[in-house]
A and B are shown apart, each in its own frame.
Chain A
Amino acid sequence: MRANNVITNGYYFLKKLLLYQPPSDPTPFLEAFLRYAHRVIAFLTKANMSLSQGHYSDKTKNLKIEYQALEKQQSELEPILLAYQSGQGVLGERSLSTSLEENRQIIESLYHLPLNKDIVIREIDIASDPLVKAMAIFIDGMVDTKIQNLAIFQPLMLLGSDQRRLYDGDLVDNIIRKYLPTSQVQRAGNFAKLQEGINGGDTALIFDGIAEAILVNTKGWEHRSIEKPSTEPTVRGSQSGFTENLRTNTTLIRTIMRNSDLVTELFKVGQRSQTTVAMLYIKSVANPQLVAEIKRRIQGVRTDDLESSGTLIQFIEDHPLLPFPQSLSTERPDRVGPHLSEGRIALIADGNPYIHILPVSFFTFFHASEDFSLPFPIANFQRFLRLFGTLIATVLPSLYIAISYFHVEALPTQLLLAIAGSREDVPFPAWFEVLIMEISFELIREAGVRVPGVLGTTIGIVGAIVLGQAAISAHIVSPAVVVVIAITGLASFTIPEYLMSAAIRLIRFSLLLFSTYMGLVGLATSLLWLTVILCSMKSFGMPYMVPIAPRTTAGFDVVVRGPVYSQKQRPDALNTIDQKRQPQISRPWKKKQPAGKEDEE
């Protein structure tokens, strides 16, 4: 009887914690297995003794009967073991068994067969001496059956012969080297890897007596072909857009950036969805600290399902609570290429045609894809037009409200009289008019996006005209407000990036609220808050307002785009390994004799 005091209790607690003690009452399941193990040991000892004594004929019969009994007991115990393991949730972590039947049972359990109808388990016999029993597991619809037939079943089943001895040496290696004419194969030793391969469109081959499987790349599901980018049209530049297929997308980038330094790292994100995420960067340019940081963030995401690349970005960005985008999303490979060469990183999520580029500055969102193809004066004019459009889209309604409510003296008298005259029959205050029109505009825009095809645009135009005209005729809003909202709406479409445009729309409402209550004082305060918020933001560690705040060397293509030959440096804020984009003299032909001169001489 132990003394019941603190010291003794502490001692026994520590002992319990540190020393293993077998359970006093093992479960019946374990007892059954222990009995089976004892029987196997006894049988092996008996067989060993019999064989060493040399009385084969007498005892073989008895041993055979005993062996069959053991086999029967094992087959009875297997389902119990499987049920126990699946209950513990460790089935997927198990290594493959040498027993084909056991492997099959585990796969059936993992994929919920026969409930699950698109998992196919195809049993095959491979001609060899002795015959190799095998099975192929794949998901119907995710594999290319042509590749499967030609590269797996035909060489293994039809082209084999009874003369070959596959079990001599390493069977898996033999098959991979001699009988699988396909470009990509992998070996899998556990069910986790096996599942990953099968779920990704591979065909898994498991062989009797071998605790290893072969994953043959037979990916071949249906997907959209390369089409024109639907949300990023361009006057100049490439006309191909990304698709939902990750490999197609990486290939599209590689066709633009044919560089051996371009690295594609793959990650699996989403415990259940197991979405493949690709991270692309140019190893000799991108900041290694940035690469490591992005990798750390991606690997640190814990979620069940990753719906899209946008979801991933929300998981890893610095300020998920702010509406401003912190990465540039694009469906154009010709936009990704230049950003990669500047030292940025591209993230692709399988199943999503939008590639995210990071880190970015606030000003990157005002670059359009054709900027790279246009002469710099035109590109700059368009950029400033977009920035002006953004300013209008942000402040125009609030400026109208602030001036018409609190500072009417700022308006020329005739304009003031015209506005007052047009508002005479309107029963609502100006802020309410603006709010009605803003919400109507948003409704038309959202409906235009949701209604399919050409009808969407028609609804947008007709809705705007009809609603605007009807609202004026019904004296719900004044013509001045319609003009203000129309200009604001039009200006908001000059922002090339959808997410930035959405953020500006949202900000506009808060600015409206401030100016309704505090006039220009409210507008000034809210603009100041906005500026400070923007200056406090970071895009994956890089200040959001570079190259202005903090002041850095921009590389002549961040706010203002210089002539291509003057863009000698990469943006300073990216801290790239190689800062130089092109040599000091990027046009050496200017220093040489013109070709025509030879003729003159």
Chain B
Amino acid sequence: MSYQSGRMGTAEGIALVFTMTFTTIFVTLPAELIETSGELGWISEIASGLSTMAMLFLFIYVFERFPGDLFYVSTRLLGKLGACLISIYYIVMFFSVATLLIRDFSENTLFAALPELDFHLSVGWYALSVAFLLYFGIEAIARAAYVILPFSAGGIILAFALLVPHYKPYYLFPWQGTGMTNALIKSGVLVASNAAAPLLAVIAKSFQNIRVLRAAAIFGLGGSMLIKSTSILILIIVFGPSAAMERTLPFFEMTRLISLNRYIQRIDSIFIILWVIAGIFGITISLYMGLYLITRLVNLPTMKPLIPIVTLLLAQIAMIPPDASSVRALEGILVKGYFLIGIYVIPLLLFAATLLNKKRGTKCASE
């Protein structure tokens, strides 16, 4: 088809990481952070972003020495069994993220955009959209994410700017909230908003070089960290911490407040375009990562036949929890437990194995 082959560059890398990690500002996560860290919620977000970034740099250290994707590198460092276990872990993790996002955004759609829509249709809509996009492959998805990125970031910043009349900076006081130590400790646990950041490791081979990975980690994760932290800060100074933690869809409710004059008022619906796009992107990318790992694990030539089956399966799973609160409970279990392995344990494990390998290599060379 093409006479020139291409690999993903810095722009695509940044867009993928940013899109995957900033999506959580459209769900309840900011409210949950405020609940745990109070007025220091925004600091928690920064700390959580920085700790994830540090873990990503551990991955990058590993990939600098062993070029390839996660499956290949894990096989080299931990053997076939270790690679299988890591792959299965991440498959479950990415599919969980995708399932939770399907459910969250379907609920959002019912709550904020189409209240009369059937719940199954809402879930089905997201599943269908995602399945269609997956057929175009990660390169097209990443490029589209990059095209949309300025509009997404610009839209959010615009919303923050239009909320200026509602800012009450004194809501930030007492500024230490539930305490700095508590905020920092909780930030380590509440890294769920960055759970999908290891995608850089999963498809490391698809990027041009290690510099791309580094730039994606710094600017992609850094950008989303800033946006999320600002969003929490503004949520606090608009609603106050006690009211903010009760908001189910904080971003949507913030945009609902925008009222500059009789022409610019109640423009929350305009932002529907923004969060629907972000949601679909988030689900698509997580699903792609899971499918990619399956194809690598069982050595399949293509993932295309898996797309409809897996999407349908995840859509069905997303419909199982009876209500939003049970989804929150499930999310809590995953965030505080399962996702931590992918963010902290596996990068550390691979890093240690690399060091060990390096030491052994040096020893051999000296011998």
Instruction: Determine the distance from Cα of A528 to Cα of B147 in the docked complex, in whole angstroms.
Output: 10
Instruction: List the A residue with the shortest CB-CB distance to B263.
Output: A412
Q: Which residues of B contact A532 (CB under 8 A)?
A: 133, 136, 140-141, 144
The residue that B144 contacts in the complex, of A410, A519, A535, with Cβ under 8 A, is A535
The residue that B269 contacts in the complex, of A520, A527, A540, with Cβ under 8 A, is A520
Is there an interface contact between A520 and B125, defined as CB atoms closer than 8 Å? no
The segment from A263-271, A334-342, A545-553 that touches chain B is A545-553
Q: Which residues of A contact B268 (CB under 8 A)?
A: 409-410
Is there an interface contact between A549 and B2, defined as CB atoms closer than 8 Å? no
Is there an interface contact between A528 and B133, defined as CB atoms closer than 8 Å? yes
Is there an interface contact between A523 and B270, defined as CB atoms closer than 8 Å? no
Instruction: Determine the distance from Cα of A232 to Cα of B195 in the docked complex, in whole angstroms.
Output: 53
Is there an interface contact between B262 and A414, defined as CB atoms closer than 8 Å? yes
Q: Which residues of A contact B148 (CB under 8 A)?
A: 528, 531
Instruction: List the B residue with the shortest CB-CB distance to A296.
Output: B3
Least CB distance, B212 to chain A, in whole angstroms: 11
Is there an interface contact between B269 and A541, defined as CB atoms closer than 8 Å? no
B95 at the interface (CB under 8 A from A): no
Instruction: Determine the distance from Cα of A407 to Cα of B117 in the docked complex, in whole angstroms.
Output: 14
Is there an interface contact between A535 and B273, defined as CB atoms closer than 8 Å? no
Instruction: Determine the distance from Cα of A523 to Cα of B2 in the docked complex, in whole angstroms.
Output: 31
Known: A538-B1, A551-B146. A527 touches B273 (CB 8 A): yes
Least CB distance, B244 to chain A, in whole angstroms: 23
Least CB distance, B201 to chain A, in whole angstroms: 22
The SS class assigned to the A binding surface is helix
A521 at the interface (CB under 8 A from B): yes
B357 at the interface (CB under 8 A from A): no
Known: A410-B267, A518-B114, A541-B2. A525 touches B140 (CB 8 A): no
B9 at the interface (CB under 8 A from A): yes
Least CB distance, B94 to chain A, in whole angstroms: 19
Instruction: Determine the distance from Cα of A538 to Cα of B6 in the docked complex, in whole angstroms.
Output: 12
Instruction: List the B residue with the shortest CB-CB distance to A293.
Output: B3
The segment from B60-68, B276-284, B304-312 that touches chain A is B276-284
Is there an interface contact between A520 and B140, defined as CB atoms closer than 8 Å? no
B113 at the interface (CB under 8 A from A): yes
A413 at the interface (CB under 8 A from B): yes
Instruction: Determine the distance from Cα of A221 to Cα of B234 in the docked complex, in whole angstroms.
Output: 76
The residue that B109 contacts in the complex, of A292, A521, A543, with Cβ under 8 A, is A521
Q: Which residues of B contact A412 (CB under 8 A)?
A: 262-263, 265
Is there an interface contact between B114 and A549, defined as CB atoms closer than 8 Å? no
Least CB distance, B6 to chain A, in whole angstroms: 6
The residue that B113 contacts in the complex, of A292, A521, A536, A549, with Cβ under 8 A, is A521
Within 8 A of A (CB), among B1-55: 1-4, 6, 8-12
B129 at the interface (CB under 8 A from A): yes
Known: A518-B114, A549-B144. A541 touches B277 (CB 8 A): no
Q: Which residues of A contact B263 (CB under 8 A)?
A: 412
Extra pairs beyond A524-B272, A535-B136 (19, CB < 8 Å): A289-B4, A290-B3, A407-B113, A410-B266, A410-B269, A410-B270, A412-B265, A520-B113, A521-B276, A527-B273, A529-B133, A532-B140, A532-B144, A535-B143, A536-B136, A543-B6, A545-B147, A548-B146, A549-B144
Q: Provide 22 A-B residue pairs closer than 8 Å at the C-beta atoms, listed in order of the A residue.
A: A289-B3, A406-B114, A412-B262, A414-B262, A519-B114, A520-B273, A521-B276, A523-B273, A527-B273, A528-B148, A528-B276, A531-B148, A532-B133, A532-B141, A538-B1, A540-B3, A541-B2, A541-B3, A549-B11, A549-B146, A550-B6, A551-B146
* Residue positions of B touching A, CB distance < 8 A: 1-4, 6, 8-12, 109, 113-114, 117, 125, 129, 132-133, 136-137, 139-141, 143-144, 146-148, 262-263, 265-270, 272-274, 276-277, 280-281
* Residue positions of A touching B, CB distance < 8 A: 289-290, 292-293, 318, 403, 406-407, 409-410, 412-414, 518-521, 523-525, 527-529, 531-536, 538, 540-543, 545, 548-551, 575
